[in-house]
Amino acid sequence: MPREAFKCSYDPKTKLYNKRVKDPSGKYKKLYDRDKGALKQKCEDFRDAVKGYSAAQSKITVAEYARRWYDLNTGELSAARKSDYGIAINRHICPVIGSMRICDVQPDDAKEVLSHMGEMSYSAQVKTVTTLKRIFKSAENNKMIPKSPCLELKAGGYESGEKIPLSEQQAKTLVEAVGGTQAHLFVMLGLYTGMRREEILGLCWDCVHLGDTPYVSVRRALTFDRCRPKISNKLKTKAARRDIPIPPQLAGLLETTERKSEFVVCNTLNQPHSFTSFRNMWDLVERRRAEGDGEKSAGGQGMETADKKPNRRGPHIPRTIDFEVSPHVLRYTWISKLILSGMNIKKVQVLAGHHDLRMTLGLYTKLMENKPEDLIGDIKKAFS
């Protein structure tokens, strides 16, 4: 069978032959030459190069492409978000499908990744699903695969427990338990400003205003990059940049605190906290937690056992905290107090630094007028 004649176009103005050819990304580009035979050779060379590129692309494994994707797409992200993607790739995706060619991955292979996370929380699985979808969508956009195998992938896992704000007595117990320790100022800032952990650790004295109307300005965040502190003016969202009035309990403490560092909460060397030094500081809280048979207690349980059992984390430290507590619980408690005080929900949103009012409503409006004493009137009316 005779070979098909080479077809191309000719532009009399430029006196050039031209031919549209498809590049590796699927887009068309034009090749030009004054000689029709030379243009034909150019086109053949280009198609050979595309075939070679496609053959090389087909050999790329999931692990190779995932790491390339990570390098190209996480440069401008926060340290926390970069960590989420890195953990998903290195701990969950690559150990299961990392050695597979990316063009061979099927929907069941993606599900296999989640099956190895069966004992993990819904939140952890969501992060892995998001990472998988973004990696394979990128591969699809770059014409490495015809269609992402993760389109129908959904996270499972158990739901995290309901957050419970500290009661007045629990907050008092916590403050008394950590009084005189490094953790005291951190706890007070959490309970009386509702700042996020990274905002408290990034707070400098130039943002503490103790005049007639005392307040703190949230302008910096301290995150951890491979355990080392990283200070940034880039906050979680634009709404996170805010001024928070502070009550006398905190204002008085800040007035009497010796300013050994530019950072309000610093480590023992008067430097910004590293991940390790922060964990050591928060351990001052954990050492005072009641434990029963090696398990963390919840509510009011476990105190009797704790009184009879020495504190392995510090034999001479009394374990007076018999409830769950974390840096985020401090923030949750503060926001809950604002809502239960009857403050306008829009004001709560601004003070909390939520970029979307729906976030404030979704997380915290269940606290508004949902207590038994608030609902008993409606119940009596319904059954009158």
The 10s digit of each residue's pLDDT in 150-181 is: 999 998 876 666 678 899 999 999 999 999 99
Q: Do residues 42 and 181 share a domain?
A: no
Does 32 fall in a domain?
yes
Res 278: pLDDT: 96
Mean pLDDT lowest among 20-29, 233-242, 328-337, 352-361 = 20-29
Give the total residue count for the chain.
Answer: 384
Does 82 fall in a domain?
yes
Q: Do residues 73 and 51 share a domain?
A: no
Q: Do residues 282 and 191 share a domain?
A: yes
Is pLDDT above 80 for 269? yes
Nearest to 73 by CA among 157, 137, 169: 137
Does 378 fall in a domain?
no
Conformation bin of residue 149: beta by default, left when phi > 0, alpha when psi is -120 to 50: alpha
Q: Do residues 52 and 66 share a domain?
A: no
25 vs 34: which has the higher pLDDT: 34
Res 306: pLDDT: 37
Does 162 fall in a domain?
no
Residue whose structure tokens are 């926390």: 80
62 vs 367: which has the higher pLDDT: 62
Contacts of 206 (CB under 8 A, 6+ apart): 262
Q: Do residues 208 and 259 share a domain?
A: yes
Q: Do residues 220 and 361 share a domain?
A: yes
Confidence of residue 311 (pLDDT cuts 50, 70, 90): very low
Mean pLDDT lowest among 1-15, 76-90, 329-343 = 1-15
Where among 122, 141, 160 does a domain terminate?
A: 141
Does 40 fall in a domain?
yes
Q: Strands 9-11 and 221-225: what pairing?
A: unpaired
Res 304: pLDDT: 34
Does 314 fall in a domain?
no
Confidence of residue 327 (pLDDT cuts 50, 70, 90): very high
Q: Do residues 214 and 259 share a domain?
A: yes
Res 127: pLDDT: 93
Res 290: pLDDT: 78
Q: How many helices (H) and strands (E) does the chain have?
A: 16, 10
What is the rounded CA–CA span in Å between residue 306 and residue 298? 13
Res 301: pLDDT: 33
Confidence of residue 364 (pLDDT cuts 50, 70, 90): low
Cα distances (Å, whole numbers) of residue 224 to 4, 107, 197, 221: 63, 35, 11, 10
Q: What angle do CA 328, 127, 144 make, to 5 degrees?
A: 155
Res 99: pLDDT: 94
Does 161 fall in a domain?
no
Q: Do residues 111 and 220 share a domain?
A: no
Is pLDDT above 90 for 137? yes
- Find how far residue 263's CA is from the centre of its chain: 24
Q: Do residues 240 and 121 share a domain?
A: no
What is the rounded CA–CA span in Å between residue 306 and residue 312? 11
Q: Do residues 196 and 112 share a domain?
A: no
Q: What is the CATH number of the domain that holds 99?
A: 1.10.150
Domain enclosing residue 132, as ranges: 62-141
What is the maximal distance between C-alpha atoms in the chain? 99
Half-sphere exposure in the Cβ direction for 82 (13 Å, CA): 15
Q: Can you list the positions of beta strands (E) in 78-237?
A: 208-209, 215-218, 221-225, 228-232
Q: Do residues 194 and 285 share a domain?
A: yes
What is the rounded CA–CA span in Å between residue 48 and residue 68? 25
Contact by Cβ (8 Å): 13, 7: no
Percent of the chain's residues with pLDDT above 70 = 85
312 vs 242: which has the higher pLDDT: 242
Q: Can you list the positions of beta strands (E) in the chain?
A: 9-11, 16-22, 28-33, 208-209, 215-218, 221-225, 228-232, 242-245, 291-292, 295-296
What is the rounded CA–CA span in Å between residue 51 and residue 43? 12
Into how many domains does the chain fold? 3
**Per the structure block, which two tokens stand in for 137?**
């969508």
Q: Do residues 239 and 256 share a domain?
A: yes
Q: What is the CATH number of the domain that holds 216?
A: 1.10.443.10
What is the rounded CA–CA span in Å between residue 377 and residue 17? 86
Q: Strands 16-22 and 28-33: what pairing?
A: antiparallel
Contacts of 295 (CB under 8 A, 6+ apart): 302
339 vs 171: which has the higher pLDDT: 171
Does 157 fall in a domain?
no
Tell me 238's DSSP state. Answer: G
pLDDT tens digits, one per residue of 70-121: 988 887 777 778 888 999 999 999 999 999 999 899 999 999 999 998 888 8
Contact by Cβ (8 Å): 231, 266: no
Contact by Cβ (8 Å): 222, 272: yes
Query: Taking the CB of residue 238, how many other CB atoms lie within 10 A of it?
Result: 10
Contacts of 10 (CB under 8 A, 6+ apart): 16, 17, 18
